[in-house]
Structure 1
């Protein structure tokens, strides 16, 4: 897996950053209005080779890949480049691929920045009058005319300036009335031109990702400076949390562009749909990001003295040249579910890679083989996504094959899988229908005991844990504390003989009814800051004074409330220093590599696809309905973005990169999308989805129930939004 640019690409990006920061500064962008074109900037881009980046070397260009052009476009979006850059990049490539001698002179002038060429999106045989990106300054337009690809000469008189939303150089031109030269004809020529339109979608999507990211950066900076009610407004969660949400959306959109290019390079069957999804997603994400950024500025954002309005208008103007972006998600639906084919552009070299690797495939195969041999139909019948799916026999078998604690380091006795292998293993278990929260929690407890436990404690419990004979639960949450684990009030008082007495209540002690031990966070010093007066202990759940009462949820899942009344444990069962519980608890973080709910989203989508093929609507399967296809495609988009954001967290962990709340982003984003898609797919497949009928209907029903807790498990979305706002956007701390 790789999210890094090559050294050459880093150098190229740095070159474009330096140039655009100077020559596409906000002052220059403002000066280019209302014409929307900066000739000096254009000439400078040409001198840097930007306009020839996608022209093959044999035609005098740089011959670089689609990803290189995307790098340029992201910086162009960040700096609101004044000119039809995406259109010109595509037109130049079309002139080189289709133009031959007829276009040689024009291509040279376009690459030199002496002429501007653009493209027409629609067949001029049926739609001769079209809006053209850069039409006010374009001397030529490459277009399709039925089975011909033509070059249209656009004289000055045909280029009429017109006021528009964002002061871009668009123009409506009657292309059918202008001189035309046929560049190429036939199916191959039409496909090459169509691939250029697909390339434009990705270039604009990348530019929109740059616009959205920069708008959020400006908003965050302003929120760190502006005070209201004697506080920086960035401290208000009503300001910081929407920005955190949108950062996930914008980053996810950038990665969807990368995925589309990777899919093209790999020949993946969903490559065409990935292009449509990337274009649709970024149009929507950028539009919402710039709107929220402007809102952060309040009334000042409406004034032309502040720059944020420029981002707001440009984010809407760029993608709308193609038409309503909502058509793109419908297009993605047809490409995924109706067999519609797309003409794909050539990707060129693509260094970014989302492959988990051969070791990941090996662990997947090992798990598949294990389940084929060791898991009976009776065991499968009892599988459940919650703790209630725990099977003692299967737990021991997994431990014997060293498949139980896949993320636990080898020095503790676990499998010690990498983040990539662990992701693959979790997906493999999900594919088998097996979820094992008991193992995930127990390996966390084993790690803490190994790192901080006394020799007596390790000897007492680690062997039976590692043999899979017992499981452990977590005693963090309390009735009045929720996600604020540092507010724990369950007391641990040291007795004269050095032992400890524990008194209090823990809420949501999932698995306590099945577990042998609970890892507890207790208050040992009420006179210091709340996070400094905590200590960790292992408590046997069969000890005298422990009471476990069930708490049933509508998710078909049991949790527990546990009471501790004078429970006595020896000091040797303490973990770490007295009042050092926070440091002790942090040891478990090395098992976290940015997970999320993508594996459930994938299974839910597959169940919905199955139901849509079974349900009849107006005499045909529901999956043949365009609306159903678009909604399934939207779920696929959310799944892909969830996976990519989680992959980024895995990669950052593996490569020791700075981690700007990538784990919280993965968890928060995927849990929110899991929940919203669960609602939508339940609606889409109703009324069958209301049934718990065995098969896909029961799965959709179950996923809807399960999703309701996704934004609460492991810390609520609100907690994660605060972490994202602080670490990734640099906003002031919003929590005590």
Structure 2
């Protein structure tokens, strides 16, 4: 398949751009904010923005089915929307986990009743979701998880255990939780994919985790007999459903991410010119390399979306952008010199300074090679599943 944009796509682009320009003005305080490192900004306003997107039918345009309050767009139009959203620096999304992870999973594995119940509120921007996967001791090695769920006297599932690095759990209405529902099971067996409402204060405790940026986008979550209302894909099939969900995680959104990367790179170039660092041939070489690597990542993403057969493409893409973004963050502070190490501070009160965009970029990007599957895990996937090398011995 040749991936390209036709006249209908460009017409869709004009429609998307006009809608975004017309509606973002009422949310000027959070334009370009709410992304990595500034997730604390305007939580209430960003939630209102989700409803604004929903009223326009812009949530869920990549779902394979309509009728849930969303408009349906072709693959190329989904790319157009993602690119325009990033170009106008629209507010950082707080509903992306429900839209881009849970919804495709329900379309692939959920029952018709589950789709009718959960998809319309997501499409309207009314319900926010978080992901209950990682645990202490079961991060990249997800099959080692110990969170369990047992039947109560009414035949309902009750979840107990701890999840960690749970993004947006402090704002979410629901959590999809991977839990062990078969006593004595090990590794991939005996797991189920459960849907848990977060409004259970007697059974769910959410504790924010302070990050290097000073913000708390992710949390640790403790479940103590929390009620799970639904099982997706059937009892004991949680691993298959969970892996299917991870396959939806890296798609069209990768191209939008690259638009944001391009904006960050341009900002670093401006700083390098302003500080005179660009006259250093080593710095100039690094800037050119980052520019060329970003273009290569875009072409690779378009090739993959165009239908190129490559089982290792998601892992390769993650390896490429994680390391690239870290190098950009390092260069962002280098070109500014000593000024990058300090910031404004209210000395009368001792209040900590507010990080600027380049400082947040440097600090937050330290996690890029860890979250979403560490570099070590991605290399193992490529080695075993693509190159056919022997599996690593399990201790």
TM-score tier, shorter chain, comes to 0.7 to 0.9
Superimposed CA distance per residue, residues 284-324 of structure 1 (whole angstroms, 9 cap, x where no aligned partner): xxxxxxxxxxxxxxxxxxxxxxxxxxxxxxxxxxxxxxxxx
Match of 1:525 among 160, 167, 182: 182
1:659–1:475 Cα change, 3 Å: same
After TM superposition, the structure 1 = structure 2 runs for residues 223-622 of structure 1, keeping only pairs within 5 Å, are 355-376=4-25, 378-380=28-30, 383-386=33-36, 387-388=39-40, 390=43, 391-411=46-66, 413=68, 414-434=70-90, 436-443=92-99, 444-453=101-110, 457-543=114-200, 544-558=202-216, 559-570=218-229, 573-588=230-245, 589-590=247-248, 592-593=250-251, 595=254, 597-615=257-275, 617=276, 622=277
1:518–1:538: 8 Å Cα contact kept in structure 2?
yes
Q: CA deviation at 1:410?
A: 2.7
Q: CA deviation at 1:528?
A: 3.5
**How many residue pairs align between the two structures?**
371
Q: CA deviation at 1:731?
A: 1.6
1: CA distance, partners of 2:14 / 2:335: 34
Task: Identify the residue that residue 718 of structure 1 maps to in structure 2.
Answer: 376
Q: CA deviation at 1:509?
A: 1.1
Gaps of 5+ in 1: 3-353
2: CA distance, partners of 1:480 / 1:422: 37
Gaps of 5+ in 2: 345-354
SS of the aligned residue for 1:635 comes to: helix
Superimposed CA distance per residue, residues 122-151 of structure 1 (whole angstroms, 9 cap, x where no aligned partner): xxxxxxxxxxxxxxxxxxxxxxxxxxxxxx
- TM value normalised by structure 2: 0.84
2:292 paired with 1:637 = yes
1:599–1:732 Cα change, 3 Å: farther
Q: CA deviation at 1:692?
A: 5.5
- Name which structure has the greater RCO, CA cutoff 8 Å, separation 6+: 2
| Greater mean alpha carbon deviation, residues 391-400 or residues 643-652 | 643-652
- TM value normalised by structure 1: 0.47
2: CA distance, partners of 1:539 / 1:669: 34
2: CA distance, partners of 1:527 / 1:503: 15
1:556–1:705: 8 Å Cα contact kept in structure 2?
no
2:318 paired with 1:667 = yes
1:382–1:426 Cα change, 3 Å: closer
1:403–1:486 Cα change, 3 Å: same
Q: CA deviation at 1:488?
A: 1.6
1: CA distance, partners of 2:31 / 2:151: 47
Q: CA deviation at 1:723?
A: 1.3
2: CA distance, partners of 1:583 / 1:532: 10
1: CA distance, partners of 2:14 / 2:239: 38
2:33–2:92: 8 Å Cα contact kept in structure 1?
no
1:679–1:356 Cα change, 3 Å: farther
Q: CA deviation at 1:627?
A: 4.2
1:475–1:519: 8 Å Cα contact kept in structure 2?
yes
Superimposed CA distance per residue, residues 8-27 of structure 1 (whole angstroms, 9 cap, x where no aligned partner): xxxxxxxxxxxxxxxxxxxx
2:50–2:94: 8 Å Cα contact kept in structure 1?
no
1:549–1:439 Cα change, 3 Å: same
SS of the aligned residue for 2:22 comes to: helix
After TM superposition, the structure 1 = structure 2 runs for residues 641-656 of structure 1, keeping only pairs within 5 Å, are 641-652=296-307
Q: CA deviation at 1:459?
A: 4.7
1:419–1:593: 8 Å Cα contact kept in structure 2?
no
The higher radius of gyration belongs to: 1
1:551–1:561: 8 Å Cα contact kept in structure 2?
yes
2: CA distance, partners of 1:704 / 1:361: 35
2: CA distance, partners of 1:450 / 1:593: 16
2: CA distance, partners of 1:428 / 1:369: 10
2: CA distance, partners of 1:563 / 1:392: 24
1:607–1:699: 8 Å Cα contact kept in structure 2?
no
1: CA distance, partners of 2:175 / 2:15: 31
1:628–1:456 Cα change, 3 Å: closer
Please give the root-mean-square deviation of Cα atoms over the aligned residues, in Å. Answer: 2.8
Match of 2:358 among 696, 700, 719: 700
1:677–1:576 Cα change, 3 Å: same
Task: Identify the residue that residue 731 of structure 1 maps to in structure 2.
Answer: 389
SS of the aligned residue for 2:302 comes to: helix
SS of the aligned residue for 1:385 comes to: coil
Q: CA deviation at 1:445?
A: 1.4
1:446–1:436 Cα change, 3 Å: farther
2:47–2:94: 8 Å Cα contact kept in structure 1?
no
Superimposed CA distance per residue, residues 208-248 of structure 1 (whole angstroms, 9 cap, x where no aligned partner): xxxxxxxxxxxxxxxxxxxxxxxxxxxxxxxxxxxxxxxxx
1:627–1:658 Cα change, 3 Å: closer
Q: CA deviation at 1:464?
A: 1.8
Q: CA deviation at 1:494?
A: 1.4
After TM superposition, the structure 1 = structure 2 runs for residues 41-120 of structure 1, keeping only pairs within 5 Å, are none
2: CA distance, partners of 1:412 / 1:475: 28
2: CA distance, partners of 1:432 / 1:530: 44
Q: CA deviation at 1:395?
A: 0.4
